[in-house]
Structure 1
Amino acid sequence: MLNDLKIKQLKPKEKIYRVADHSGLCVEVRPSGGKFWRYRYRFLTKAKMLTIGQYPETTLAEARLKTLEYRKQLANGTDPSSYLQHERLEALKASNGTFFLVTAEYLESKKGQHSEEWFQRRNSYFNRDVFPIIGSKPIHEIDSIDIKNVLDSTTARIRKTGKGTGENRGIFVRQMIGEVMRYAIITKRISLDPTYALRGYLKQPDVIHARPLTEVEKRELSSKLNQYGGLTSTRNAIKAAAYTWLRSIEIRRALKEYINFDDKTWIIPAVSRADILAGKRNMKKNRIHIVPLSDQMFNLLKEQFSLYPKSEYIFPGEDGDMMGKTTLNSALQNMKFDFTMHSLRATASTVANENGFNQDWVELQLAHASDNKTRASYNHAQHLSDRREMMQWWADHVDSWGG
């Protein structure tokens, strides 16, 4: 049997050698001079060996206690090596395998692949709806019931705000959790995605498509915009959307450099892949779009340039920077309207078609993408003269809403 004096007297040799204590415990002396406790045993007739620790950090007494523990496991039919691996795996999962940490790792792995808006949306939803419930839980312990609780909490919160029934948010939250779970499968933390069982748990609500404004709403919009007490830029942005048929995102992100007063055109350029990833997409579809300016739109732009000379944006927010994402629809809500900005486009499309304008002109003005990609790359300037006449007719029609 060994004692501390004998262990200290053991000198390194050219090759590793071991000196036995008892019951399978031995000290291994390495050429470097390091001394390590090793436990030798057999399990199902197979010879195995475990490292217990290094001497003197692990004392002789501690090594013998650990050996006794391993012998008890063997007596109960448990392989100490397998048991140790299981313990290490559990410790690993408990220490750095929470849903919060795996999510952070997943989002980090997506850097450079998605836009800033993609990350901002997920971070917002994870922080508000997911992490408070399952963020601190080891990911391998999360089951379908845990995720159902998240979805129930999410939909209940949305309903409480009065901004909907919450199904859309809940479905998206389930999809986000599923992204993390599938990443955990790939990184060998779990073997099954618990969100799979919840597909269909929340039903997608019926889509309410934008509708054309009624005659009453047209008159009310004209009247309320003329009396609008908010930021002039907000009022003019709504007018611009009505005159041009542009989407809110195209209005909000429009730069002064897009305007050619000499040619009376508003040219929205396509952007690079890097800009798209940075959340700087100018349009819903990333391609060039030319908007011919009516006299009304021309004068409105002149007014904006004069009112906000220091901003690079045509319709800046209160701080001179880009207008907020919800500003325009919120303005309509504050004016007590039961429609969104998209309804202005629906109104324009309906009225133009009802009045016999060429459908191609209408579709081009709405910047609807062509199924033919080659054609779509060339048709941004098509029918410009015809569309200019159509847009002047349309601007006069919008002005007629005021009586």
Structure 2
Amino acid sequence: MLNDLKIKQLKSKEKVYRVADHSGLCIEVRPTGKKFWRFRYRFLNKPQMLTIGQYPEISLSYARTKTNEFREQLAKNTDPAAVKKTERLEAMQAQEETFRAIAREYCDHKKKSKSANWLYVRNHAYDVDIFPLIGDKPIKDVSSVDIKNIMDNAIKRVLKSGRGTGENRAITIRQHIAEVMQYAIISDRLYNDPTYALRGYIHSPETENAQPVNSKDRKLIMPSIDKYTGAISTKNALKTLIYTMLRTVEIRRGLKEYIDFEARTWTIPVASRSDILAGKRNMKKNRIHVVPLSDQVMGIIKAQFAAYPDSPYIFPGVDNSVMIGPTTLNQAFRNMGLGHITMHDFRATASTDLNEANYNSNWIELQLAHVKSDKVKATYDHAKWLNDRRKMMQDWADMIDKWKE
């Protein structure tokens, strides 16, 4: 039998030679001086030989342990070489089927039917919250505990950033992981979805509905915007949002071609299917919407056209070729010390004030672009009561100008 001293004393020769240990285990000494553990056996009456590994990286005790495993396999009429080949294939397959690889495959499968924004949201979640913990882990080895840790870390990260409490982020991340897990199941790479156990782990905080702006804040808003030291485009976008009752996304994506100076209207068209898939939806609901423009808004838009003649957008971002960022307007209000007011609060303010002033509720709802259940009918309502709404929008703009008094 061999021991470490005997193995170390073995010298290389011109040809390969082997020295037996026992039970079929031997060490092979090559002309280069390298020594390898080998297991010799017979299966179905044919001589076979397996390489266990190189000495001293593979110790004598480990080589003997592997030999015993091989002999147990032979006792069960199983070829150790076939077992080793299967294990190697499984290891290679596991390396190819990491969570990262399956997630990328899933997104590639979906990208033709989803928008660019859908793809961006998932890739951002993968890179920031998910891949650092499980990206290189075989998907079949990802556990519910792994996903719980990802969700917990996301909450801590959001809390530290000061941008919320993080529950909604954690829930969204679980949903993104679940999509990949379900794709792995239907593509026969997984049997169980570990996200299922976490469906009730974190509860979404109660939604804070938009509230009308109070009288104290109203006096501060327009003067604060006037004094704001940020971009002119941002200041004008804020004023226009307040005057027009439009949503942030509608302000951001507003194109100059939507403006009819003669008719004094801003007409938001229906987005095409290709635009929607590219993340270019013009409105929350994809329908045509006409906004009568007050004197105040007409003045702002003319100023924007003059200030940014080369931009396709009414309110461009830092680069004239791109729109204002998704958080720019809310961030501007935070910089003014008005961060407790959201852009949606102004729509609630308009609805409340105009209803209290006895304007027709149908005019108000139509101007807010609240879609009726009958969407076909809603498509043809965009120009309804246009003259009435034109007067209402001018009155609304005048009411806003009186806030600072």
TM-score per shorter chain, which class?
0.7 to 0.9
Percent identical among aligned pairs is 51
In the other structure, the counterpart of 1:161 is 161
Q: Quick one: which of 357, 364, 367 aligns to 1:365?
A: 367
Q: Displacement, 1:273?
A: 0.6
Report the AA paired with residue 65 of structure 1: M
Whole-angstrom distance in 2 between the partners of 1:360 and 1:79: 80
Secondary structure class of the residue paired with 1:266: strand
* 1:41 to partner: Cα distance: 5.2
Q: In the aligned structure 1, how far is the partner of 2:114 from the partner of 2:277?
A: 5
Q: Is the 8 A contact 1:254 1:315 kept in 2?
A: yes
CA deviation vs aligned residue, 1:159-188 (integer Å, no higher than 9, x gap): 111111110000000000000101111111
Secondary structure, aligned partner of 2:382: helix
For the Cα contact (< 8 Å) 2:50–2:81, is it kept in 1?
Answer: no
3-state DSSP of counterpart to 1:87: helix
Query: Do structure 1's residue 383 and structure 2's residue 367 form an aligned pair?
Result: no
Paired residue for 1:349, among 343, 348, 351? 351
Deviations 1:99-140 (A, max 9, x none): 111111111111211111111111111101011111111111
CA drift of 1:80 comes to: 6.3
TM-score by length of 1: 0.82
| Match in the other structure for 1:221 | 221
Alpha-carbon deviation of 1:82? Answer: 8.1
1:327 paired residue number: 328
What is the match of residue 276 of structure 2? Answer: 276
Aligned pairs for 1:82-161 within 5 A: 83=83, 86-87=86-87, 90-161=90-161
Structure 1 CA distance for aligned equivalents of residues 155 and 266 of structure 2 = 42
Tell me the alpha carbon deviations over residues 349-382 of structure 1, each in whole angstroms, 9 at most, x when there is no partner.
1111111111111111011111112211111111
Matched, 1:65 2:67: no
Specify the alignment match of 2:62 in structure 1: none
Q: Quote the offset at 1:79 in angstroms.
A: 7.1
Q: In 1, Cα distance between the equivalents of 2:348 and 2:44? A: 79
Distance in 1 (alpha carbons) for counterparts of 2:359 and 2:94: 66
Partners of 2:348 and 2:93 in 1: CA distance: 53
How many equivalent residue pairs? 346
Give 1:189's aligned amino acid. Answer: R
In the other structure, the counterpart of 2:18 is: none
2:173 corresponds to which letter in structure 1?
Answer: V
For 1:132 and 1:329, locate their aligned partners in 2 and report how far apart those are by CA, in whole Å.
30
The aligned counterpart of 1:31 is none
RMSD (Å), alpha carbons: 2.2
Please tell me the residue identity of whatever aligns with 1:140: K
- 8 Å contact from structure 2 (residues 107, 119) kept in 1: yes
Does the residue aligned with 2:267 lie in a helix, a strand or coil? strand
How far is 1:94 from its partner? 2.5
Equivalents in 2 of 1:90, 1:198: separation in Å? 29
Contact 1:291/1:365 (<8 A) preserved: yes
Going from structure 1 to structure 2, the CA distance change for 1:274 and 1:81 (only over 3 Å counts) comes to: farther
Asked if structure 1 preserves the Cα contact closer than 8 Å seen for 2:43 and 2:79, the reply is no
Deviations 1:168-212 (A, max 9, x none): 000000000000101111111110000000011011101011111
Match of 2:15 in 1: none
Q: Where does residue 339 of structure 1 map in the other structure?
A: 341
Q: Distance in 2 between matches of 1:296 and 1:334?
A: 24
- Aligned letter for 2:158? I
CA distance in 1, matches of 2:309, 2:315: 11
d(CA) in 1 for partners of 2:366, 2:272: 22
Q: Is the 8 A contact 2:287 2:379 kept in 1?
A: yes
Query: Is 1:398 aligned to 2:400, yes or no?
Result: yes
Change (3 A) 1:208 1:79: farther
Distance 1:388 1:41, change over 3 A: farther
- Match of 1:339, as an amino acid? I
1:249 CA displacement: 0.7
**Secondary structure in structure 2 of the residue aligned to 1:345:** helix
Provide structure 2 residue ranges, at least 5 long, that are not aligned to the other structure: 1-41, 52-66
Give the Cα–Cα distance (whole angstroms) in 1 for the partners of residues 270 and 43 of structure 2.
69
Whichever residue aligns with residue 336 of structure 1, its letter is G
- State how far apart, in whole Å, the 2-side matches of 1:80 and 1:360 are: 80
Cα distance in structure 2, aligned partners of 1:112 and 1:74: 52
